[in-house]
Amino acid sequence: MTAEQPPAEENPPREECGVFGVWAPGEEVAKLTYYGLYALQHRGQEAAGIAVADGAQMLVFKDLGLVSQVFDEQTLAAMSGHVAIGHCRYSTTGSTTWENTQPVFRNTAAGTGVALGHNGNLVNTAELLARAREAGLLATNGADAATTDSDVLGALLAHGSGDASLEQAARELLPTVRGAFCLTFMDEDTLYAARDPWGVRPLSLGRLDRGWVVASETAALDIVGASFVRDIEPGELLAIDADGVRSTRFAQPNRKSCAFEYVYLARPDSTLAGRSVHATRVQIGRILAQEAPVEADLVIGVPESGTPAAVGYAQESGIPFGQGLMKNAYVGRTFIQPSQTIRQLGIRLKLNPLKYVIRGQRLIVVDDSIVRGNTQRALVRMLREAGALEVHVRIAAPPVKWPCFYGIDFASRAELIANVVEDEEQMVEAVRRTIGADSLGYVSQEGMVAAIEQPATRLCAACFDGNYPIALPEETALGKNVVEQMLATTARGAARAADTGAGAVAPRSESV
């Protein structure tokens, strides 16, 4: 590999989005939403947006960037009302463009507004897009063309309301939507929230003194002073207005909560299905120490998500826990691209070893997961350069062998390092050699499930075992750019028809 092409740094697994909603007359709902999104920033750092309404009109403000980059005091002060939703985005469907930022906004036939935020990923986007396109609801080209499954949902929801209420439109639309979705949406008066029948992604309801809050994680309820009421159930639609909270079932629940939320995605101070995320990760570390013991002098975690499991590993093994890596808290998504020299430093942008702690030690390094292996390879090399005698890597998740189609940006199967060979022992040895560790151990899927304290039948572990609980369409109807591809095909077809109709020579056929 040439100096002009340094090894690509592995991006960690990332989820699509975080959603937040508040109905609270007399409160500064835009500011509450801002702080709620701040607590959910880890779920998406590409874009952020807030919609607010006062009963008569709706205002939406959104842009690319972190929550703190998009909003300032002056902007929030101008967003008055009693109901608001917010969204922070990482894209799993549609490119990173302003047009794809959320909340999505649409006008209904009755002249009212609809704003929608979505966390998850749909598997019947192509089918829904065809319905929206046939109804003339989507732009097929141009700068105003959004290319997300969320925009398709917003268009169908607004169109479906017609003379009916938005609540009735949602009850009719949601049973036809397949995949992972947690939605917050609103009109000028009412806040709505909905969760897919499988409950893949988390969504919680909280109570304020003068209103209600919904959020992707309970940590966002804490930050705005809301008390946790309950999880929104799979297949449930909530409507919140001056009459209180109304609950409707639009589908029978078949819970398949994402196991990876417990392992990596959720904040450690959140609670999922009644189980503390931090306690789960510590317990995974304990089980990992039982399943993959090794003689060593010190246990360290890869901050932040590997640290609780490292604590559990140390507690169970009796080997001291230490802080061997310092994380730069201000390194995240940035619009300033690093120079060639800085890019070659790779992981040192984010982590730096404490040499006096590491030197001369046999280390156990606990990380949350391995996807492509680039990060772990660079980390092992860095620790050896810092003076570690041995580096034993332990992973607080089973091997990731399958891509996710429900809202996590995992690589294609060919890019997943644990997919190198089928035999488990041979795979572990191949990955160990690739990352340069003295030994490598993963927690078993059974051990992970035991730590989560949920029945295996109520969890989605498709990225580990390939058992997808929600049926997937053909490969051509999947992928991050499925909407863009379909819209581009429509645009090319329209252009050809126009050229042919005008007497122009029809272009030669091409595959799409």
Which residues are annotated as part of the binding site for [4Fe-4S] cluster? Answer: 258, 404, 460, 463
The CA distances from residue 279 to 262, 268, 480, in Å, are 10, 8, 33
Q: Which domains does the chain have, with CATH numbers?
A: 18-138+146-254 (3.60.20.10), 276-465 (3.40.50.2020)
Instruction: Identify the pLDDT of residue 306.
Output: 94
Annotation says 88 is catalytic: no
Residues 51 and 79: their CA atoms lie apart, in Å, by: 8
- CA quadruple 86, 89, 94, 96: dihedral positive or negative? positive
Which positions make up the binding site for Mg(2+)?
Answer: 305, 367-368
- Tokens for 360? 């001369």
Q: What is the pLDDT of residue 335?
A: 46
Q: Is the Cβ–Cβ distance between 273 and 231 less than 8 Å?
A: yes
C-alpha span between 410 and 260 (Å, rounded): 11
| Rg of the chain, C-alpha, whole Å | 24
Those residues with Cβ within 8 angstroms of residue 138's Cβ, 6 or more apart along the chain or in another chain: 129, 132, 145, 151, 152, 155, 487
- The reported pLDDT for the residue numbered 422 is 79
Mark residue 127 as left, alpha or beta (left: phi above 0; alpha: psi -120 to 50; beta: remaining): alpha
Q: What is the predicted pLDDT for the residue at 511?
A: 25
Q: How far is CA 25 from CA 69, 188, 192, 205, in A?
A: 27, 13, 16, 17
Say if residues 180 and 128 touch (Cβ distance below 8 Å).
Answer: no
The contacts of residue 212 (CB under 8 Å, 6+ apart) are 22, 23, 24, 191, 205, 206, 240, 245
Give strand pairing partners of 105.
115
Cα–Cα distance, 112 to 162 (Å, whole number): 10
Q: CA separation (Å) from 434 to 241, 417, 430, 431, 463?
A: 56, 9, 6, 5, 21
Please state, in angstroms and rounded to a whole number, the distance separating the CA atoms of residues 191 and 412: 37
- Could you count the other beta carbons within 10 Å of the beta carbon of residue 470? 20
Supply φ then ψ for residue 266, to 5 degrees.
-75, 155
How many other C-beta atoms lie within 10 A of the C-beta of residue 170? Answer: 25
Contact of 113 with 107, CB cutoff 8 Å: yes
CA distance 42 to 20: 14
Among 149, 320, 174, residue whose Cα is nearest residue 235: 174
| Options 10, 16, 17, 197, the catalytic residue | 17
Detail the residues annotated as belonging to a binding site: 258, 305, 367-368, 404, 460, 463
DSSP code at position 159: H
Buried residues in 194-225 as b, exposed as e (16+ CB within 10 A):
bbbbbbbbbbbbbebeebbbbbbbbbbbbbbe
Residue 131 CA: distances (Å) to CA of 62, 109, 148, 173, 177: 27, 17, 15, 11, 12
Walk along the chain (512 residues) and give the pLDDT tens digit of each residue.
333 333 444 455 545 689 999 999 999 999 999 999 999 999 988 899 999 999 999 999 999 989 999 999 999 999 999 999 999 987 655 566 778 889 999 998 888 999 999 999 999 999 999 999 888 887 654 445 667 889 999 999 998 866 678 999 999 999 999 999 999 999 999 999 999 999 999 999 999 999 999 999 999 999 999 999 999 999 999 999 999 999 999 999 999 999 999 999 999 999 999 999 999 999 999 999 999 999 999 999 999 889 999 999 999 999 999 999 998 876 654 445 556 666 656 777 788 999 999 999 999 999 999 988 888 999 999 999 999 999 999 999 999 999 999 988 776 788 899 987 778 999 999 999 999 999 999 999 999 999 999 999 999 999 999 999 999 987 655 655 555 555 555 544 444 434 444 333 222 222 22
